[in-house]
Amino acid sequence: MIVAEQKPLGEIKEMIADADRVLVVGCGTCVTVCFAGGTKEVDILASSLRMSTKLDGNGKEVDTLTVQRQCEWEYNEPLKERLADYDVVLSLGCGIGVQTLTEQFSEMRFVPGLNTTFLGLP
Protein backbone atom coordinates (compact mmCIF):
# COMPACT_ATOMS: atom_id res chain seq x y z
CA MET A 1 0.00 0.00 0.00
CA ILE A 2 1.15 3.51 -0.78
CA VAL A 3 -0.19 6.66 0.80
CA ALA A 4 0.45 10.15 -0.56
CA GLU A 5 -0.85 13.68 -0.27
CA GLN A 6 -0.89 16.53 -2.76
CA LYS A 7 1.79 19.18 -2.45
CA PRO A 8 0.55 22.71 -1.69
CA LEU A 9 -0.68 24.57 -4.78
CA GLY A 10 1.95 27.30 -4.34
CA GLU A 11 4.77 24.74 -4.37
CA ILE A 12 3.37 23.11 -7.52
CA LYS A 13 3.05 26.49 -9.23
CA GLU A 14 6.72 27.23 -8.47
CA MET A 15 7.79 23.92 -10.05
CA ILE A 16 5.90 24.65 -13.28
CA ALA A 17 6.50 28.42 -13.38
CA ASP A 18 8.69 28.35 -16.49
CA ALA A 19 6.34 26.10 -18.47
CA ASP A 20 3.54 27.22 -20.78
CA ARG A 21 2.10 23.77 -21.50
CA VAL A 22 1.63 21.33 -18.62
CA LEU A 23 0.32 17.77 -18.61
CA VAL A 24 -1.00 16.54 -15.26
CA VAL A 25 -0.76 12.73 -15.14
CA GLY A 26 -2.62 10.73 -12.56
CA CYS A 27 -2.28 7.13 -11.45
CA GLY A 28 -5.27 4.83 -11.24
CA THR A 29 -4.19 2.59 -8.36
CA CYS A 30 -2.65 3.35 -4.94
CA VAL A 31 -2.91 7.14 -5.01
CA THR A 32 -6.47 6.88 -6.30
CA VAL A 33 -7.42 4.82 -3.25
CA CYS A 34 -5.96 7.44 -0.88
CA PHE A 35 -7.70 10.25 -2.84
CA ALA A 36 -4.46 11.99 -3.86
CA GLY A 37 -3.77 11.29 -7.54
CA GLY A 38 -6.66 9.66 -9.34
CA THR A 39 -8.70 11.08 -12.20
CA LYS A 40 -10.84 13.24 -9.92
CA GLU A 41 -7.83 14.78 -8.19
CA VAL A 42 -6.03 15.32 -11.52
CA ASP A 43 -9.04 17.18 -12.93
CA ILE A 44 -9.41 19.35 -9.81
CA LEU A 45 -5.71 20.24 -9.71
CA ALA A 46 -5.60 21.02 -13.44
CA SER A 47 -8.59 23.32 -13.08
CA SER A 48 -7.04 25.01 -10.05
CA LEU A 49 -3.78 25.55 -11.95
CA ARG A 50 -5.58 27.01 -14.96
CA MET A 51 -7.54 29.46 -12.82
CA SER A 52 -4.71 30.36 -10.46
CA THR A 53 -2.09 30.97 -13.15
CA LYS A 54 -4.57 33.02 -15.17
CA LEU A 55 -5.29 35.19 -12.13
CA ASP A 56 -1.54 35.60 -11.66
CA GLY A 57 -1.25 36.89 -15.23
CA ASN A 58 0.70 33.86 -16.42
CA GLY A 59 -2.05 31.54 -17.68
CA LYS A 60 -0.98 28.06 -18.65
CA GLU A 61 -2.37 25.37 -20.91
CA VAL A 62 -3.01 22.47 -18.54
CA ASP A 63 -4.22 19.11 -19.83
CA THR A 64 -4.83 15.81 -18.04
CA LEU A 65 -4.36 12.10 -18.45
CA THR A 66 -4.58 9.22 -15.98
CA VAL A 67 -2.78 5.95 -16.56
CA GLN A 68 -3.60 2.74 -14.72
CA ARG A 69 -0.19 2.37 -12.99
CA GLN A 70 2.65 4.87 -13.38
CA CYS A 71 5.05 2.35 -11.83
CA GLU A 72 4.63 -0.08 -14.76
CA TRP A 73 6.23 0.85 -18.10
CA GLU A 74 3.56 -0.78 -20.26
CA TYR A 75 0.79 1.34 -18.70
CA ASN A 76 2.69 4.53 -19.53
CA GLU A 77 2.72 3.93 -23.30
CA PRO A 78 -0.29 6.26 -23.91
CA LEU A 79 1.98 9.11 -22.78
CA LYS A 80 4.56 8.49 -25.49
CA GLU A 81 2.67 10.23 -28.30
CA ARG A 82 1.58 13.18 -26.15
CA LEU A 83 4.78 14.21 -24.39
CA ALA A 84 6.17 16.31 -27.23
CA ASP A 85 3.20 18.67 -26.84
CA TYR A 86 4.22 19.76 -23.29
CA ASP A 87 7.00 21.61 -21.52
CA VAL A 88 6.62 19.68 -18.28
CA VAL A 89 4.66 16.74 -16.89
CA LEU A 90 3.27 17.03 -13.37
CA SER A 91 2.97 13.54 -11.95
CA LEU A 92 0.29 12.77 -9.40
CA GLY A 93 1.79 9.34 -8.85
CA CYS A 94 3.80 8.22 -5.86
CA GLY A 95 7.56 8.61 -5.82
CA ILE A 96 7.95 5.27 -7.57
CA GLY A 97 5.64 6.43 -10.38
CA VAL A 98 7.58 9.65 -10.92
CA GLN A 99 10.85 7.70 -10.96
CA THR A 100 9.46 5.23 -13.50
CA LEU A 101 8.25 8.00 -15.80
CA THR A 102 11.60 9.77 -15.59
CA GLU A 103 13.50 6.60 -16.46
CA GLN A 104 11.11 5.62 -19.25
CA PHE A 105 10.95 9.03 -20.91
CA SER A 106 14.31 10.55 -19.99
CA GLU A 107 14.02 13.31 -22.61
CA MET A 108 11.02 14.83 -20.78
CA ARG A 109 10.90 16.92 -17.62
CA PHE A 110 8.76 15.45 -14.84
CA VAL A 111 7.93 17.05 -11.51
CA PRO A 112 6.20 15.43 -8.51
CA GLY A 113 2.83 16.77 -7.44
CA LEU A 114 2.51 14.48 -4.42
CA ASN A 115 4.43 13.78 -1.25
CA THR A 116 4.57 10.04 -0.63
CA THR A 117 4.00 9.51 3.09
CA PHE A 118 3.92 5.72 3.41
CA LEU A 119 5.13 2.69 1.47
CA GLY A 120 4.46 -0.74 2.89
CA LEU A 121 2.52 -3.93 3.05
CA PRO A 122 -0.80 -4.06 4.92
Asked if pLDDT for residue 107 goes beyond 80, the answer is yes
What tens digit of pLDDT does each residue of 52-103 get? 999 999 999 999 999 999 999 999 999 999 999 999 999 999 999 999 999 9
What tens digit of pLDDT does each residue of 31-43 get? 999 999 999 999 9
Note whether 4 and 116 are within 8 A (CB). yes
For the residues 41-50, what does the mean pLDDT come to? 98
Task: Quote the pTM value.
Answer: 0.95
CA neighbor of 93 nearest in space, from 17, 12, 24: 24
CA distance 85 to 38: 22
pLDDT of residue 7: 98
